[in-house]
Structure formats: structure tokens, C-alpha cells
Chain A
Amino acid sequence: MKATLLLMNRAPYAGTLARAGLDAALAYAAFDQSVSVLFAGPGVLQLAPAQEPAAIGRKSLRRLIDSMPLYDLEAVYADSEALDRHGLAEDDLPAFVTVLDPAAQRELQDRHEHLLAF
């Protein structure tokens, strides 16, 4: 089986690409694929707690992310430097998310045949 890494690089509500990426991740998991997700760049903001996007007519992406373990999707990672840059701490993240430094992210990429960047 091909291991696929989905890179979530977009802020949650700027457009619809963040949602498209999360939907794809859940589809890979629902089809029993070997899939991992890495939140990087502004994409780490998708992990921010207490999102209240109803005010802009959107649904919370954090709630969608919180549902990942229900799809047996727990290989979920976040870029340590992006978390720092966006003022997020490990405590803010869902418990199943692992924080990786840049060297560990390169190793993560090396373990996957495919990288899809959203």
C-alpha cells in the first residue's frame, strides 16, 4: 500500500482549500489507506481551539479534525515552528496530534511515497 502524506498549509477560513484537504484526509482514512496529515505554515491555525466561525457562516474545522480518530486517522502532526509563529502551544492541540521539528518532518516525508499539498 502506498503511504500518503497530506500537507495542510492553508489558514482555515481564507478560502475553502483547508476544508477540501481535510475532506480528502478523511476519505483516505475511510478507504483504509495508509495516510498521515501534517499541519504546517498557516495551516496550523486549523488546529486552534475554540474556533467560532459561525459568525462568518462557516463550520468549525477544529470539530472536523477532532473527529479524525473516529476514522482511525491518528497519524496527525504539526510543525513546531509554525505553532510558535502563530502563538499556539501543544496544549491547544487535539491530544492525538504530535508536534514535529523540521528534521522530524523531513523523516516523516521520507516515510511516505506520496505528498499531496493543500
Chain B
Amino acid sequence: MRYALLVLAPPQASAVHRAAIALCEAAIAAGHALPRVFFSDAGTQVALDSTVPPGDEPSAREGWQALARNHGVELIACIGSAVRHGVLDADEAARFERPAATLAEGFTLGGLGLLVEATAAADRALTFGGGAP
């Protein structure tokens, strides 16, 4: 089975991120494909390199980065949402004349077409942090 994930919750909703990461790990461990996670709206803040979570709490950003590192999962932050939340790669920082890039390692900025592509190819699409049905 092939999965696609859409994450909308800010990283401060740490239980949502923890659940999403745990689902990814479980799906991959069970032999399913999970090639891409798409972050939109406040979810893009998890790709912000400049946040400092409390030292005694696991960081959602680091959890996602480990998933990308260990399993090659692509982490895409919606570029439209990301720039509004201060998440800039070097190109966007230059374009908007901001002092520094803030995109954390392991994440890439991309358009909504990458969400469309991911769900179109997936057997299951899951939203984390949206309004429940």
C-alpha cells in the first residue's frame, strides 16, 4: 500500500506530530511505501530551523528529520504557506530580501502540485491537524 500525508498542525501541537511520525514509522516498518509528507498552513512551521523547543521535550522537527534520513521520506513544505510562516530557503530569503534562510535540513519548499501528485499516486491519504469530519 502507498501512503501520502498532509500535515496542517503547528509543531506546538506536538501530539499531532508525534502521532503522524509514529504512523509513518509503523507504515514503513510494515512494508508500505510512504514517499512524501506534505506540510501546509501552520504545519510548515515545523520546517523552521530557528525555533528552540524546551530541552526536555522531543522536537517534532528532529523527529521528521530522522524519518527523512532513515527512510528517504521527502518532506515538502508548501511554499505559499511557508513564506508566510517565516520558513525561507536561500532563494526565497534573497527574493524577499530577508536576512537569512530558515529552512531546516531535510525539508524542501514546493508547490501544491506536489500534494496533488502525492495523493494521486497514493492508496491512502491522511490529514493530520485539520478539522475532523
Contact = CB atoms under 8 A, between A and B. Distances in A.
B40 A24 contact: yes
Given A20-B40, A24-B112, A27-B112, A9 B119 contact: no
Q: How large is the interface on B (under 10, 10 to 19, 20 to 34, 35 or more residues)?
A: 20 to 34
Contact of B130 (A2, A23, A28, A117): A117
B133 A9 contact: yes
A24 B115 contact: yes
Contacts of B124: 114
Given A41-B131, A115-B133, A118-B8, A23 B115 contact: no
B133 A20 contact: no
B42 A15 contact: yes
A9 B125 contact: no
A64 B1 CA distance: 35
A16 B84 contact: yes
A116 B125 contact: yes
B112 A23 contact: yes
B108 interface: no
A17 B8 contact: yes
B131 A118 contact: yes
Interface string A27-42: 1100101000000110
Nearest to A26: B112
B49 interface: no
A31 to B, nearest CB: 5
Question: B interface, by DSSP: helix, strand, loop or mixed?
Answer: mixed
Interface string B22-63: 000000000000000000111000000000000000000000
Contacts of A15: 41-42
A109 to B, nearest CB: 8
Contact of A16 (B41, B116, B122): B41
Interface string A12-26: 000111001101100
A9 B6 CA distance: 16
Q: Which 10 A-B pairs have the closest CB atoms?
A: A9-B131, A27-B112, A117-B130, A20-B41, A114-B125, A31-B116, A117-B127, A118-B130, A116-B127, A17-B41
Interface of B: 6, 8, 40-42, 78, 80-81, 84, 111-113, 115-116, 119-120, 122-125, 127, 130-133
